[in-house]
Amino acid sequence: MSFTGKYELQSQENFEPFMKALGLPDEQIQKGKDIKSISEIVQDGKKFKVTVTTGTKVLHNEFTIGEECEMEMLTGEKVKAIVQMEGNNKLVANLKGLKSVTELNGDTITNTLTLGDLTYKRISKRI
């Protein structure tokens, strides 16, 4: 199953408490909560390029399944991570205590971020 495509955010759960826990300033949280972000994924075998555009903020990460890479977090901090694939439709990464699971089902991508006992869920549809 290929992840390649553009996806628009449809809904999100726990955005504000999760961003607060990450340490984002309130002003940035208020600005970001109502913006429909667009995720663009290009998959070439085990190589991925992911670009998430939220308003004026663009987050760009590239990685190869199973290899250590540097990834930019929502806070702008760069961390080392290894992304693994489970089955043929799930990407799992651990970024400095933050677990990210991205699952593709048909035209829907569900991204679940977990930090301690706090979970933030984003659902995006292919456009």
Rounded CA-CA distance 75/84 in Å is 22
Confidence of residue 57 (pLDDT cuts 50, 70, 90): confident
**Cα–Cα distance list, 111 to 24, 26, 28, 122 (Å):** 19, 22, 20, 5
DSSP assignment, residue 18?
A: H
∠ Cα 28 34 35 (to 5°): 80
Q: 103, 110 in Cβ contact below 8 A?
A: yes
Confidence of residue 36 (pLDDT cuts 50, 70, 90): confident
SS3 35: coil
Question: Is the predicted pLDDT of residue 1 greater than 80, yes or no?
Answer: no
In the chain, the domains with their CATH numbers are 5-126 (2.40.128.20)
Rounded CA-CA distance 29/93 in Å is 23
Question: Is the predicted pLDDT of residue 20 greater than 90, yes or no?
Answer: yes
Task: Give residue 114's identity as a one-letter amino acid code.
Answer: T
* pTM of the entire predicted model: 0.90
| pLDDT at residue 87, rounded to an integer | 94
Rounded CA-CA distance 80/59 in Å is 15
CA dihedral over 60, 63, 6, 9, signed as positive or negative: negative
| pLDDT at residue 113, rounded to an integer | 95
State the average pLDDT over residues 15-38: 89
| Average predicted confidence (pLDDT) for the chain | 93
